[in-house]
Amino acid sequence: MDLILLGPPGAGKGTQATTIAAKYGLIQLSTGEMLRAAAAAGTEVGRQAKAIMDKGELVPDEVVIRIISERIDQPDCKGGVIFDGFPRTLAQASALDKLLRDKKRKLDAVIELRVDDTKLVERIVGRFTCAKCGAGYHDRFKRPKVRGVCDVCQGTEFTRRPDDNAETVTRRLMVYYRETAPLTGYYYCKGNLRAVDGMAAIEQVGQEIGAVLDAVK
């Protein structure tokens, strides 16, 4: 099963992708995570991407398409993937269509998480992750069970993304509406768009996505 989680920054794509990946045995392909890993590793691509990401702009299509195309060829992706944060432009969507066609794969569903803008800002500025295992949290909506200790790996250090500040979020939202929002029309016309209410609590959103996936499986 191959699927896309579509939605603005902060909609809950990463949060839901992690749960779905574990439940359905899929690999989560987050281009944002891959670019942050490249930046942390100090590669040329990573350094160039970091400057763009810090401004809240999009990394060039050819860069992310290449990253996805190389990653999906790895054996662990054979059983199915969740695209999280990719595609983000019509050019990326069309490149993904070709890529999947060439590899004799097909998209089973495109799930759009719908969340109000005001909520997005609140979610993004409160987001933090475990520095050791990357598990995601929120100051108000998803606190670790024991304060200061990661639920997953018991790590005690947490980080916040440099682009998760109120100023960059506004830029990222504008970029989303200009470049990525048209993809809902693109996938609606292809017949595989499913909208889910992303305003609900994390577990409830997960259940709704689960219902969609059980129907398309």
Please list the active-site residues.
Answer: 13, 88, 127, 161, 172
Site for ligand AMP in 37-56 (CB under 6 A): 52-53, 56
10 binds, among ligand AMP, ligand ADP, none (CB under 5 to 8 A by kind): ligand ADP
What is the closest distance, in whole angstroms, from the C-beta atom of residue 63 to ligand AMP in the complex?
8
User: Within 13 Å of residue 162, how many CA atoms lie on the same side as its CB?
Assistant: 10
Counting contacts by CB under 6 A, is residue 128 touching ligand AMP? no
Counting contacts by CB under 6 A, is residue 10 touching ligand ADP? yes
* Stretch near ligand ADP under the rule CB under 6 A, chosen from 92-100, 147-155, 197-205, 207-215: 197-205
Site for ligand AMP in 2-21 (CB under 6 A): 9
Residues 6 or more apart whose Cβ sits within 8 Å of residue 110:
3, 4, 6, 187, 190, 192, 193, 194
Counting contacts by CB under 6 A, is residue 202 touching ligand ADP? yes
What is the Cα–Cα distance from 32 to 81, expressed in whole angstroms? Answer: 15
What is the Cα–Cα distance from 137 to 148, expressed in whole angstroms? Answer: 11
What is the Cα–Cα distance from 135 to 193, expressed in whole angstroms? Answer: 28
| Helices and strands (DSSP H and E) totals, the chain | 9, 8
Site for ligand ADP in 113-132 (CB under 6 A): 123, 126-127
Site for ligand ADP in 72-101 (CB under 6 A): none
Spell out, one character per residue from 135 to 164, where the chain touches ligand ADP: x when CB under 6 A holds, - when not. -xxx--xx----------------------
Counting contacts by CB under 6 A, is residue 120 touching ligand AMP? no
Residue 185 CA from chain centroid, whole number:
19
Query: In angstroms, what CA-CA distances link 127 with 20, 66, 165?
Result: 20, 28, 10
Count the Cβ atoms, other than its own, within 10 Å of residue 136. Answer: 14
Number of residues that bind ligand AMP (CB under 6 A): 16
DSSP state letter for 147 = T
Mode of pairing for the β-strands spanning 193-197 and 107-114: parallel
Cis bond upstream, residue 8 (ω within 30): no
Site for ligand AMP in 54-113 (CB under 6 A): 56-59, 64, 85-86, 88, 92
Contacts to ligand AMP by CB under 6 A: 9, 31-32, 35, 52-53, 56-59, 64, 85-86, 88, 92, 172
Please report, as ranges, the residues that interact with ligand ADP according to CB under 6 A: 7, 9-15, 123, 126-127, 136-138, 141-142, 200-202, 205
